[in-house]
Amino acid sequence: MTTLKTLITSLVLVLLLFACKQKTNELTTSEAPDKDAITKLDTSNSFPAFNRELIINIKGDSIAGYALIASGESPKETVIFISGYPGNDTNFDTAQEIRRHGKNAILFNHRGAWGSQGNYSYSNCLEDIEQLVAFFSDPEISKELRIDPNNFTLIGRSFGGGIALISGSQINSVKKIIALSSSNYGTRIGKYNHLDELTSYKTYMKKQIMINTNIDEFLQELLDNKETFNIVNYNEHLSKKEVLIIEDSKRNEHWINKLDKKDYILLESDHNFVEERVEMIDTIMNWLNKH
């Protein structure tokens, strides 16, 4: 009896194994992806898009950067994003859309901001852009990241909008500048003469624990350089660039109207265009693709 049970059990196991093998064969021949198709899929784009973490040295300080590189072998227009103060809104959604349109996008943190080494100041922020463009124009770097060293675009918001307009006006390889809800500190600080008049600025800046700066020195530099940090004084240089200014209100028209050459769009919203993100991004992309 025991022998019969053993034989029956063995027979059942054999039948189960045979059935499993048949099912495996079915999956291999009818459900599994074709090997040739997989190979074709993997090699159809030899130069796919990719992301790259970057550590960039600026005068002995290391700053953090992040590159979104578009697909394709050829060198590409590269857009550098300049955040506002203190840099909570990085416009990452805009950067992704720009890459989808075949351009590279670079995000970074200024010296003294969000873990980047060094001191945060207006003059340092201006210099950071010059140094970044030089870094990405290096033959080895530009080849690796598929960057056209003669075709940079700057996009800055708020504090970064002013930085983009001033620094971009001075760099030959920057061809286009987009400023969003820009802050012109030459006019914004213009009515003040002493640090004790900037109490509200000090109160706000003390809360920004992600920024490494001496607040009094930061503000004093603005007071001492009202003309240097006034965007209007770069009008002649900006007239040689393609410039798009998108504003959330009319508060800056008093200095924007003094610029001879610019495309100006009023997109009424809050300072970050929170309710108008899609329209803002569409406006940027349409403009970039036309210029």
Measure the CA–CA gap between 283 and 243, rounded to whole angstroms: 13
Overall residue count recorded for the chain in this entry: 291
Q: What is the mean pLDDT of residues 91-101?
A: 97
For residue 197, what is the DSSP state? G
Instruction: Say if CB 76 and CB 146 are below 8 A apart.
Output: yes
Backbone angles phi, psi at 145, to 5 degrees: -100, 10
State the virtual CA torsion across 230, 255, 133, 54 in degrees, nearest 10.
100
Structure confidence at residue 45 (pLDDT)? 75
Amino acid at 271: H
- 216/26: higher pLDDT: 216
Percent of the chain past pLDDT 90, that is, above it, reads: 83
Q: What is the mean pLDDT of residues 210-226?
A: 97
Interstrand relation of 174-180 and 242-247 (parallel, antiparallel or unpaired):
parallel
The b-or-e profile of 28-44 (16+ CB within 10 A means b, else e) is eeeeeeeeeeeeeeeee
Interstrand relation of 263-266 and 242-247 (parallel, antiparallel or unpaired):
parallel
Measure the CA–CA gap between 288 and 280, rounded to whole angstroms: 12
pLDDT tier at 19, thresholds 50, 70, 90 = very low
Structure confidence at residue 91 (pLDDT)? 94
Structure confidence at residue 14 (pLDDT)? 42
> Would you say domain 48-290 falls under CATH 3.30.565.10?
no
Measure the CA–CA gap between 46 and 60, rounded to whole angstroms: 36
Tokens of 88: 């909570």
Structure confidence at residue 205 (pLDDT)? 97
pLDDT tier at 23, thresholds 50, 70, 90 = very low
pLDDT above 90 for 33: no
Measure the CA–CA gap between 81 and 95, rounded to whole angstroms: 8
Closest of 183, 124, 149, 161 to residue 243, by C-alpha: 161
Q: What is the mean pLDDT of residues 184-200?
A: 95
Q: What is the mean pLDDT of residues 35-59?
A: 71
Per-residue pLDDT of 147-190, as tens digits, reads: 999 999 999 999 999 999 999 999 999 999 999 999 999 999 98
pLDDT tier at 125, thresholds 50, 70, 90 = very high
Give whole-number Cα distances, 139 to 111, 144, 171, 202, 278, in Å: 24, 9, 18, 43, 36
Which SS3 state, helix, strand or coil, does residue 234 take? helix
Structure confidence at residue 272 (pLDDT)? 92
Instruction: Say if CB 173 and CB 149 are below 8 A apart.
Output: yes
pLDDT above 70 for 68: yes
Which SS3 state, helix, strand or coil, does residue 125 take? helix
pLDDT above 90 for 107: yes
Instruction: Count CB neighbours of 66 within 10 A.
Output: 17
Structure confidence at residue 5 (pLDDT)? 45
* Element housing 149 (H / E): strand 147-157
